[in-house]
Chain A
């Protein structure tokens, strides 16, 4: 019955849609993929993609492609653009591999890289400045602070995603800028939604709400614009907008009017019953409530309001990745399609109706035996990432420091080759000779066998940041420590931000894992298999006391007062014996005042007397 209705719906759609509109409607796709993760988290991946032909783009006719962005691209001569707004940390240990193989995420803060058309480096810099300033206005972000000190030109790490005709390759410049300190918030989401053809008014974008998005444990907003030339047909310019967010289910389910977390009353407390002391009056609270029931309106605060009418009807708007054994409730009129892999299912939504989905908690039968295992059964097992990476500062004091990156290859039999890129601020002066890679548990340096290629562009004070790209490999099932030392420089008084004691953010390191091929010689031609970013670091520099200039003035003045005053007085005063000089008494001034006062009184009296006399 249901299938019959869907057939009817499809036939109706195909009849009423104008043939031209139908052909054009495949220019826009949108899809939401929901994947419950371990530890009661939920990954929601929104993907919006629209196309415009290059000829229409050059004629300034914009339909699905946003005009505001298109104009900026044309003005700045941009061929391909990638913009990232990210917040939080992806917990790879428990959540597994990143969505989109890490290709649609950035480090904390704002990241921007673009291929620009320019004849010379100066021209590229100029266009880059135009681009960052224009984007900063469009996205309400401080992108205009990406100056020359925060801009690098990566050599190995990034490769264009789009199809660029070979003839122009020599004239395209890749520039990369990052703002780790930028706080991503609602004001960045609003312009992001405005770029969508259906705004936030219809389709899956209706779920996007700043309160929920920026409350997530991890979120990443991405905009990717690239030219795509299919084998048959015209080249198109494709804009892909992606939002990935990991929501803590329990946190998201808090009622909106009462968001402050409070301890639950005793009878609602979830206890760990496996503890030996568990009884009616003693409770060891379970640290998370696995596999809770949740619904779209609970998690996102609203339901999906129909579909965007421009979308490709062949792409189901909502997909859910849970094992086939779990049951899911959906609102009437929607259609469920299970995929062949048995781990995901997709839903067709009625164009005008609201869509709600409820994922009930799995049956309790399995849960009593082994919680962790049971949870994994009810979820799609997260994929193991190719590499785990974490980065931290070592050392102590205000002068020197070190950076240590721990890179772990979980695969038992596959070697991982990757490019590790750091773009450091100029005030972290690294000592390149101290760069060292060693395998955990093995003594001695294996630098030469692990590090294959180093590209280093040293910093220039106040003009350019450090750029370090290292191509290295990690053998199977081993952990590699990559370390180097650096020196902290002292900034000028005006270069400190108002919150100088907080520290300075150091951008995330970008790790680009290359596809393993036999030809080691050419690294540029190899495609990217996976990308990940470490967390950003907080580097504390020696901060001066900011009242210093006034202190200096006062101190100098005191010294001058002592030295100059003394010297001057010695030179110009005459010295006489103690009994020869004028008597110095404390009452000098007082006496003089009293004298004056007395005179005044006398004057008054005499005057008063004069008046009396005349009477």
Chain B
């Protein structure tokens, strides 16, 4: 088997080895003639029996059979990592926005009790045409419908109806439009002569109504298109009309607002630099100044409220006059007990700081609340994005108790900041703003859940040694069903609920603990375990196989040579 040269004294010429080799293997008498006369005369072993040769091949083969049929499967079975099947391509489709085209059909009903049915239908058709001409964004659809004529006194609108806005057309002196501050109703008056005739193809009233509607929903449209453009929604589907400035202001606003959560903890803290004041009428003040807004926000968010008083609080900046840079480091995170609350829901902090410090620079809060800009620019408060608000309150040094009346201004500021922290749009009447908030939030949640799915898919592809438990697969499938449902019912309350569930499930699947447990198992360790075990076993096995293959090939060649010689003879 070992085909070594018999004598290695260097005297042989280079052409002989193959011959010598064959001579040993074949073990024919004439080979001895070729053998060079060295120092010792070597005998050749007797020829091997063919049964021995066959037995040897069988032994090697059976060893290899055991290794291949038993060892390898066991090794494979015991060392593979369980990876549940994830619908990776579908997940990536969601992330790329191919699976869902977010469309917000907004139903707007027109109440035109003074008009004839025919006239009203005609006006509606014209307005819809005008709207469709104006609209460049397919995701945001305004659908007009005619509401059944009601008695003029009955202006109640059905809450569970999906109608986003009601337009009440009332005949009047001139064309005016007013937004009802307490209900989603747009009152439009028109001079009677502007009613389009049944055959006319354009009408000034229809154009006016369309432009009014468009301006009412302009902000919502801008926000939603901004959200879509920031995610990987196909570009053809993206609206074009977003100016860079508008996009920048929107991005500022979205970074300022907190991540969506069903519940927020509101923490009101009174910090004083000295020992006084040590009590405040915060409960009464909240009930009076903040509760109304919280009640209105209740369908979208739950709020829990807690209050605390902290004496001897040193701010992070000791300057008498605070400039813009100081504001970011004013909150002394190391010493002030504002630690995040337990229970998962994020905390919004509202801090009243009693001290004699003033703000020197233009307040940060001034640029964003247009409706009460005057109040904000003079007020000594600032908003910390995604965190809360600080209000500097200067009181006479011997005040021991802060009354509810003193807290009015701080709480009004907090209320307006709360709206911007929750991401409520700024224009329009409050009911409109809130229904817009619900739509924005569902779009946001939908996009966030989709992008989480995409990240999970990319992670699963990037880390092949990561185990994926079946709970992750469950979470993914749940997320996808809810995403599908949310996508189908976008714009309604149901859509928001589904988007919430989808987002929560996606986050849970992504942050599954067992996925990262044994992620890092260094290759050196594997080497250290396998090498001493496989070295002593593998080398003889491999060498045996190689030698056997070599011998077998040689036998074949010799047979062929013998056959050729015989033929010659």
Q: Does A18 count as interface, using CB distance less than 8 angstroms?
A: yes
A199 touches which one: B1, B311, B342 (CB < 8 A)? B311
Measured between beta carbons, the chain B residues less than 8 angstroms from A556 are: 533
* Complex interface: chain A residues within 8 A of B278 (CB): 21, 24, 63, 197, 309-310
Measured CB to CB, the residues of A under 8 A from B are: 16-18, 20-21, 24, 59-64, 66-68, 70-72, 75, 130, 134, 137-138, 194, 197-199, 201-202, 308-310, 550, 553-554, 556-558, 560-561, 564-565, 568-569, 571-574, 576-577, 579-583, 585, 587-588, 591-592, 594-595, 598-599
What is the CB-to-nearest-CB distance from B343 to chain A, in angstroms, rounded to a whole number? Answer: 6
Please tell me which one of the listed residues A550, A574, A592 contacts residue B1 in the complex, with CB atoms under 8 A apart: A574
A residues in contact with B162, CB < 8 Å: none
Residue in contact with B305 in the complex, picked from A60, A202, A568, CB distance below 8 Å:
A60
What are the residues of chain A within 8 A of B400 when measuring CB–CB?
17-18, 20-21
Q: Which of A63, A137, A201 contacts B279 (CB 8 A)?
A: A63
- 5 nearest A-B residue pairs (beta carbon): A561-B536, A60-B306, A201-B312, A576-B45, A557-B532
B10 adjacent to chain A (CB < 8 Å)? yes
On whether the beta carbons of B533 and A75 are closer than 8 Å, the reply is no
Q: Are A310 and B275 in contact (CB under 8 A)?
A: yes
What chain B residues lie within 8 Å of A587 (beta carbons)? 8
* Minimum Cβ distance to chain B for residue A22 (Å): 9
Give bound CA distance, A560 to B339, whole Å. Answer: 59
Least Cβ distance of B285 to chain A in Å? 12
- B432, chain A: closest CB distance, angstroms: 32
Q: Considering only CB atoms, which chain B residue lies closest to A585 in the complex?
A: B8
Q: 5 A-B Cβ contacts within 8 A?
A: A62-B309, A310-B275, A553-B533, A568-B63, A572-B548
B42 touches A579 (CB 8 A): yes
Q: Provide the residues of chain A in CB contact with B114, threshold 8 Å.
A: none
Given contacts A62-B309, A67-B308, A71-B342, contact A21 B279 (CB under 8 A): yes
- Give every chain B residue within 8 A of A18 (Cβ-Cβ): 400-401
Q: How near does chain A come to B1, taking the closest CB pair, in angstroms?
A: 6
User: Which B residues contact A (CB, under 8 angstroms)?
Assistant: 1-2, 4-8, 10, 14, 24, 40, 42-46, 48, 52, 56, 59-60, 63, 267, 275-276, 278-279, 282-283, 304-309, 311-312, 335, 337, 339, 341-343, 398, 400-401, 528-529, 532-533, 535-537, 540-541, 544, 548
Flag if B536 contacts A564 (CB, 8 Å). Answer: yes
Our pick among B14, B401, B533 for the contact of A557 (Cβ within 8 Å) is: B533
B544 to chain A: which residues have CB within 8 Å? 568, 572
Say whether B45 contacts A577, CB under 8 Å.
yes
Q: Is the CB of A557 within 8 A of B536?
A: yes
**How near does chain A come to B363, taking the closest CB pair, in angstroms?**
28
Total CB contacts across the A-B interface at under 8 A: 149
Contact A595 B10 (CB under 8 A): yes
Taking the nearest CB of chain B, how far is it from the CB of A312, in angstroms? 14
B18 to chain A, nearest CB (A): 15
A62 touches B48 (CB 8 A): no
Interface of A is mostly: helix
Q: How many angstroms between the C-alpha atoms of A67 and B337 in the bound complex?
A: 8
* A550–B528 touching, CB < 8 Å: yes
Contacting residues, chain A, for B309 (C-beta < 8 A): 62-64
Q: How far is the CB of B27 from chain A (nearest CB, A)?
A: 10
Bound-state Cα–Cα, A572 to B540, Å: 10
| A67 in complex: contacting residue of B1, B42, B267, B535, CB < 8 Å | B267
User: Whole-angstrom distance between the alpha carbons of A430 and B278 in the complex?
Assistant: 55
Most central of B6, B278, B283 by chain A CB within 10 Å: B278
Most buried by B among A66, A71, A579, A598: A71
CB nearest neighbor in B for A575: B45
Chain B residue, CB-CB nearest to A571: B59
Q: Which residue of B lies closest to A308 (CB)?
A: B275
Known: A67-B337, A194-B337. A558 touches B1 (CB 8 A): no
In the complex, what distance in Å separates the CA atom of A474 from the CA atom of B283? 57
In the bound complex, how far is the Cα of B305 from the Cα of A542, in angstroms?
A: 54
Q: Do B43 and A579 have beta carbons less than 8 Å apart?
A: yes
- In the bound complex, residues from chain B placing their C-beta under 8 Å from that of A17 are 400
| Closest chain B residue to A587, Cβ basis | B8
Which chain A positions have C-beta within 8 A of B537? 560-561, 564-565
Does A67 contact B8, Cβ atoms closer than 8 Å?
no
Query: Which residue of A60, A64, A198, A558 contacts B304 across the interface (Cβ within 8 Å)?
Result: A60
Cα-based distance from A553 to B282 in the complex (angstroms): 69
A550 (CB) vs chain B CBs: closest residue? B528
Return the contact of A574 from the options B48, B335, B541 (Cβ within 8 A). B48
Contacts of A561 in B (CB 8 A): 535-537
**Known interface pairs A60-B307, A63-B278, A202-B312; A71-B44 also in contact (CB < 8 Å):** no
Question: Which residues does chain B contribute within 8 Å of A574, judged by CB atoms?
Answer: 1, 45, 48, 52, 56
Distance between B534 CB and nearest chain A CB, rounded to angstroms = 8
Instruction: Apart from A309-B276, A572-B59, list 19 A-B contacts with CB within 8 A.
Output: A16-B398, A21-B401, A60-B307, A61-B307, A63-B308, A75-B343, A134-B342, A202-B312, A553-B528, A553-B532, A557-B532, A557-B535, A565-B536, A571-B59, A580-B45, A582-B5, A582-B6, A583-B42, A599-B14
Residues of chain B lying within 8 A (CB to CB) of residue A134:
342
A574 to B60, CA, bound (A): 13
Indicate which residue in B342, B529, B541 contacts A553 across the interface (CB closer than 8 Å): B529
CA distance A574 to B6 in the complex (A): 17
